[in-house]
Amino acid sequence: MSPAFYDQVAPIRLRDPLAAMLGAFDEGIYEIGYREVVKLAGHSCPTVAGAFLMARKGLQALYGEALPVRGQIRVDLPAPVDEGVTGVIANVLSFITGATERSGFHGLAGQFDRRDLLFFAQPAVPSLRLTRQDSGASVALRYDASVVPADPALRPLMPRVLSGQASADDAAQFRALWQARVRAILIDHGDDPALVGIVG
């Protein structure tokens, strides 16, 4: 059983022209929720939560009341793909926007190509930049997870859990504290501009 707060996080609603054409979803419209992002990543952490929130805030800024168009959004990240948590963030953003580097769908009759929409090592980008391919409008975002600090008890617990030395009670406490921070990021501070802000 997973934490109930996953389903309390407002999802991202999108329109995917490829999904519409192939009949995957009516009119290609569907939602991506935090629970689905956790399944993609295989875990729930401040990085995964931050990537989800940046995507949601950035797409809202770019599209307003209109539905974001999946497959027509460029994603730029500041660091190389193998640096730190960049790959995790990229996987989440790729899942939400459809953007890929070279591994994505190559399209049909010159349409729906998902390749060459994901770029790494862009030093002028703060945490993330999203760009609409139809209009060229872009938004840059920054994410500061330190706004929601970890419980101090996590520091001594983590090495014991990772080494297999933790008791069952310690392991349970670690999991609860870890997810409590993620919940605070997503639910309590999800709209906090100090946590996820638009740059410029």
Structural domain contains residue 171: no
Structural domain contains residue 164: no
Structural domain contains residue 71: yes
Structural domain contains residue 167: no
Structural domain contains residue 3: no
Structural domain of 121: 10-145+183-199
Structural domain contains residue 77: yes
Structural domain contains residue 20: yes
Whether pTM exceeds 0.85: yes
At 84-132, the pLDDT tens digits run: 999 999 999 999 999 999 887 777 777 768 889 999 999 999 999 999 9
Query: What CATH number corresponds to the domain at position 28?
Result: 3.30.1330
Report residue 125 CA to chain centroid gap.
Answer: 16
Structural domain contains residue 175: no
Q: Specify the pLDDT at position 110.
A: 77
Low-confidence ranges of the chain (pLDDT < 70): 112
Number of domains, the chain? 1
